Amino acid sequence: MRSLLTWPRVALAVLLAAVLVLALAYERFAPGGRRSAERTGPVPLPGVASGFFTGSDEAGVRRIAEVEKWLGGEPLTVGHTYLPGDRWSNIEGHPALFEPWARWKEERPGRLFVLNVPLLDRNEEGLDDSRVRAGLRRGAAGEYDRHFRTLGERLVAHRLADAVLVLGWEMNGTTYSHRCGPDPESWKTYWRRVVSVLRAVPGQRFRFDFTPSRGLDAVAWPRCYPGDDVVDIIGLDAYDQPAGVSFEEQLTEDYGLAFHVRFAEEHGKPVSFPEWGLFRNGDNPAYVRGMLDWFARYRPVYQTFTDYCPHGVWGCAENPLSGEVVRGALGRGSGASDRS
């Protein structure tokens, strides 16, 4: 009888200890919660390659130094820009875009260049599904190979042979003509073809980043995944939206932050966050702390903060509280000098 009475007490103690551990872990990585809401200090983020997107042109390159000054002199190691998707000649790339980034990259060893590459022209013209479907099928059949071959050759010629290429980003949504939803099978075949063309360019050392937007958009983004052999990094663009949705909900939603890291782990890939920032919930330091804690836990290959209104903190005066959190994590502390 003694052993029968002791066992329930032991089991109960073990259960309570497990609940306590889970609760503490949840509070640590659920910054919108009670415990995190009270924490106002900086969240250090050492060892994670970080950048600010401040513009695609040469002026955007120059602004990186201004952001570093705002951060208290701490260097940013990621340069992130986008190819225009209006016409194929721009998707092929130009010296005016590549050369300033190449010089920036060469100024300090270890810098990383990330380039978003549209998969179709007229990429932001709101093409209907039938036109998108036709474009994806032409791409899958090889009609656009020459454009991507030219792009790869120009990147190598401009000393950007080790670029991370984010092909057809946010394909699970409706914003871009290179979206996946109208024909997922053709989209995947097309992605695979583009990677094969770029990998065949002499001298290249590209890495390919598959990056949907967070959550369930127009299509569940795993349906668009083209295969482990053609993907090096699994990214996620993750803004603070919709309105009223907490960071905890962004963690646990379908195809959200937690799903993303599980998916990447299952496929043996590291993660990245090419775009993130504020949006529908205003100046929200709890969200920013949540994202930075998430990065500290899962160590992405890189993360880039989108810095223009309404997303930003350096270039957007409406978000001062979030800005202090960012400076605490990426700078020398929350007492960094002002924006000028």
Residue 280 has pLDDT above 90, yes or no: yes
Structure tokens at 79: 């340069």
Q: What is the percent of the chain where pLDDT is above 70? A: 84
Dig out the tokens for 109 from the structure: 């060893």
Higher pLDDT, 250 or 332: 250
Mean pLDDT to the nearest integer, 228-254: 98
Number of H helices and E strands in the chain, helices first, is 12, 9
Query: pTM of the predicted model, to two decimals?
Result: 0.86
Residue 130: predicted pLDDT: 98
Query: What residues form DSSP beta bridges with 97?
Result: none
> How far apart (Å, rounded) are the C-alpha atoms in residues 214 and 46?
25
Residue 63 to residues 6, 66, 324: CA-CA distances in angstroms?
Answer: 67, 5, 19
What's the pLDDT score for residue 7? 39
Q: Using the predicted structure, report yes or no on whether residue 14 has a pLDDT greater than 70.
A: no
Asked if 61 contacts 101 with a C-beta cutoff of 8 angstroms, the reply is yes
- Render pLDDT for 40-82 as a digit per residue (tens, 0 to 9): 444 577 789 999 999 988 899 999 999 999 999 989 999 999 9
Average of per-residue pLDDT values in the chain? 88
Residues in the chain: 340
Q: Is the dihedral of CA 53, 330, 31, 37 positive or negative?
A: negative
Least Cα distance to 247 among 272, 279, 275, 218 occurs for 279
Quick one: pLDDT at residue 46?
74
Phi and psi (nearest 5°) for 82?
A: -130, 140
Is the confidence at residue 339, as pLDDT, over 70?
no
User: What are the residues facing 112 on neighbouring strands?
Assistant: 78
Long-range contact list for 154-158, CB < 8 A, 24+ apart? 154/92, 154/93, 154/94, 154/95, 154/98, 155/93, 155/98, 155/115, 155/201, 155/204, 155/206, 156/201, 156/202, 156/203, 156/204, 158/95, 158/98, 158/99, 158/102
- Give residue 331's pLDDT: 87
119-151 pLDDT, tens digit per residue, is 999 999 999 999 999 999 999 999 999 999 999
Q: For the packed helices 129-140 and 184-199, what is the interaxial angle rounded to 10 degrees? A: 40
Would the pLDDT of 334 be above 80?
A: no
CA distances in angstroms from 133 to 129, 171, 172, 202, 264, listed in the order given:
6, 13, 14, 31, 28
Give the pLDDT mean for 95-121.
97
Query: Residue 43's pLDDT is what?
Result: 59
Task: Identify the bridge partners of residue 213 per DSSP, sorted by sequence position.
Answer: 237
